[in-house]
Amino acid sequence: MIIPIGWLQSFFPKKLKLSSFTDRFIQAGIEIEACTIPAVIPDEVVIGKVVSQDKHPNADRLSVCSVQCGDGVDRTIVCGAPNVAAGQTVAVALPGAVLPGGMTIKQTEIRGVKSEGMICAEDELGLGQDHAGILVLDSTYKPGVKVNTLQLGETLLDVKTPPNRIDWLSFVGIARELGAMSGTKPIFPKSVLRESNPSTKSYIRTRIQKGAALQYHLRMARNVRANVSPGWMAARLRATGITPSNLLVDATNYVMRELGQPLHAFDADMIRGKIITVRFAKPKEIIETLDGETRMLTPQDIVIADAKGPIAIAGVMGGKRTSVTKQTKNVLIESAIFPRVQLRKTSRRLGLLSDASSYFERGIIQDAPLQAIDRVACLYQELSNAKIAKGTVSFAGEIKKPTAISFSLARVNALLGTSFSLNEAKEILKRYGIGTRTTGRSTLVCTIPAYRPDLLVEADLAEELVRMKGFSAIKKTLPHMEVRVSVVDPSLRCMNMLRDSLVRSGYTEVYLPAYYGERDLQHATLPPNEHREIENPLDSQQKFLRSDLLPGLLEAMYKNRKSYRDMKLFEVGQVFWKNMKPGMHEWRIAFAVSFQAGGSYQEALQDFIDAVCSPLHIHATDVVLGKGRLNRDIRIHVTPVGHIVVKQIKNISIAAVECAISELIICERKPEYSPLPKFPGVKRDLAISVPSDLDRFTLERQIRRASSLVRDVALFDVRPLEENRISFAFHLDFSADDRTLADKDIAMEMLSIERAINEKGGKIRT
């Protein structure tokens, strides 16, 4: 969630430093992921008023605008934004301005028309990421005013809140937390409504199907105007990632961020039958949503409907037929709490992950709907001079009474290792809005406010005490430890050993999701019908639990191809398939090496020998490859342990190996030791030309079988030759246990090796 510091500061009478916010956020348990300081806007960027907007004579997508910039001269500016229109108040960069991104504005000629500046978009001024159109500002700003004096940008904190703290989804909730920690009581805006007849009930009535809503409230606002929102509201919405539209929509989004309650505004004149029904959709019922898409619904979806049919998908997105427009005069404001599970299923099935649905899925505080609907009505009244009808049309199911928790201070001090006094505990809990009543010497009965549904047991209250006091209040004590003989799991030992070995070989470990989509099935060994499918995937690329590690590894290498020329990645992870029993999995290890041009399975096979076989004391000659050019099985003697593949993904070649940990453990051998040789050895280099389908390990076996005096065979060069042949070059070490070898001994051994190579179609190169 993005939090503008200025918006949060508005709740406190005394200005707080940025460090005060960040320090208390961390103490409260609010994780700060990023802090963005606003860009410096140059003095040459000023407020402008678009006097006229005409089509460019030589370009269909450009407009020629006449803009007042406060100097008494109308400037001609060519603009390519689709939303530019006469009457708008905009930000104009005059010639000589150097924008935050480094762009220098000059007077220029565009398609034959002189342009004396640039009308700026949001991202060009460093005020956000939007580049879809120009930045439209509050019409009250006067032409010629420097934009950097308007404080349109402010410091933003990107925070991550725990799932159980739904009160932190609102700025009011976060301000309440900061106020408790700082001892400064925040001041929240009050909704003072001037209601007038007739009442909301005379305009609309509701019908709620059982299980379709926990709360549902409607309020009528008449004679509203869908004008541009004031600059302060637009700037705050823009800072939180919401693009301003018009006051009727912006006010609902503003209150959603402020109070954590999603709202929706219907055009009241477009509702048929003067009745709103909250119900489950009929089979194959359709609705055209705000994004212009026609969507088919199921009986598991909850809809808001009038006499003509659905006008909104509850908690997810409104319908186009009753959406507010510039012509809207009367607005029906909706504020509700819908069932979380039903709403989440609808949102995932339709692929509509809106701001509203994310709030509903996390949960809504039961007091928020009525507070929010009055707050929006108050904004309509203040900013649009709207007339607010008396009362609301409301449905409220079971309202939970305040929870009472018995709190033993002696037990809490023993749990935390602290020494809180009774008065100190009562003062801290009071700051959090928790009522207390003393019963006995050190026992409190605590009344939990509605906005803290996360407080359920005594331990939760203990956490509140230590958060306020600081974890430094807990005395340092040595933990009680028992020394036990540990039994190392063979799989864990093998995985750790292989991890270390691959890292030493230059590989980087990655952690990838345990699922993939249909486009990744081409790299999987199992067909789609043997994959275990996820019931409620977040999207189409998270549909299957992985049956192989390679699809994710290949995708990671492809995505990083522009940043790294050659990559060596590996992963240790679990795989699943359809006929596995629930809760079962298989551990595997996979590694891959990439080349921008060329490459073969030999590249990964060498690393398999060095990084996998060596730690497990498996001899290279025990490795047997199956037949094939791009996909070959790997066996240790007769035990299948995995496979090796070569993939060409666009311009990148990847050689990869995947093995089952359990099979590698079976093949692991005990280390063998031999004494150092008594007699000096002899070294020879040997270059061999062989058919391209012959691998180096077959050649090594042939060499060792042909000569009993060969102690070591080490590959040092591989290169392709003409006519589907490949060259391997080896270092050979010869030695005998009973004598020093003579030249004639080596000559006989080399002759025997040459005959063995010839049997496989190879030739000695000179």
The 10s digit of each residue's pLDDT in 485-516 is 777 788 888 899 999 988 888 889 999 988 88
The 10s digit of each residue's pLDDT in 560-611 is 877 776 788 999 999 998 888 877 889 999 998 886 554 556 667 777 888 8
Whether 2-36+158-182 and 407-472 share one fold: the answer is yes
pLDDT band at 329 (very low <50, low <70, confident <90, very high): very high
User: How much is the pTM?
Assistant: 0.62
Share of the chain above pLDDT 70, in %: 98
Measured distance CA(288)–CA(281) in Å, rounded: 14
The CATH code of domain 682-765 reads 3.30.70.380
The CATH code of domain 2-36+158-182 reads 3.30.56.10
Across 701-730, average pLDDT: 86
CATH entry 3.30.930.10 includes domain 490-667: yes
> Residue 756, class by beta-carbon neighbours within 10 Å (0-12 exposed, 13-18 middle, 19+ buried)?
middle
Domain 407-472 fold: Phenylalanyl-tRNA Synthetase; Chain B, domain 1 (3.30.56)
The 10s digit of each residue's pLDDT in 416-429 is 888 888 888 899 89
Provide the pLDDT for residue 729: 92
Provide the pLDDT for residue 3: 86
Provide the pLDDT for residue 675: 79
Measured distance CA(303)–CA(620) in Å, rounded: 66
- At residue 89, does pLDDT exceed 60? yes
Report the interhelical angle of 231-239 vs 247-259 (nearest 10°): 50
How far, in Å, are 216, 243, 455, 747 from residue 757 at the CA level? 84, 72, 77, 15
Q: Is the peptide bond before 198 cis (omega within 30 degrees of 0)?
A: yes
Q: What DSSP line would sit under 55-106, residue for residue?
A: E-TT-TT-EEEEEE-SSS-EEEEEE--TT--TT-EEEEE-TT-B-TTSPBP-
- Name residue, tokens 């500046």: 117
In the CATH scheme, what is the homologous superfamily, with its name and number, of domain 195-396? Phenylalanyl-trna Synthetase, Chain B, domain 3 (3.50.40.10)
Measured distance CA(203)–CA(269) in Å, rounded: 10
Provide the pLDDT for residue 670: 82
Least confident residue range of 178-187, 204-213, 463-472, 624-633: 624-633
More confident residue, 382 or 604: 382
Q: What's the DSSP call for residue 609? A: I
- Yes or no: say if 318 and 363 are a contact pair by the CB < 8 Å rule: no
The 10s digit of each residue's pLDDT in 531-548 is 888 877 777 678 888 899
Query: What's 685-740 look like in SS3?
Result: EEEEEEECCCCHHHHHHHHHHHCCCEEEEEEEEEEECCCCEEEEEEEEEECCCCCC
Domain boundaries, the chain: 2-36+158-182, 45-149, 195-396, 407-472, 490-667, 682-765
Provide the pLDDT for residue 104: 93
- At residue 693, does pLDDT exceed 70? yes
Measured distance CA(646)–CA(760) in Å, rounded: 24
Measured distance CA(627)–CA(693) in Å, rounded: 9
The 10s digit of each residue's pLDDT in 5-32 is 888 888 988 877 777 778 878 877 888 8
Share of the chain above pLDDT 90, in %: 38
pLDDT band at 373 (very low <50, low <70, confident <90, very high): very high
pLDDT band at 629 (very low <50, low <70, confident <90, very high): low
Provide the pLDDT for residue 601: 65
In the CATH scheme, what is the homologous superfamily, with its name and number, of domain 45-149? Nucleic acid-binding proteins (2.40.50.140)
- At residue 360, does pLDDT exceed 60? yes
How far, in Å, are 212, 273, 274 from residue 308 at the CA level? 19, 8, 11
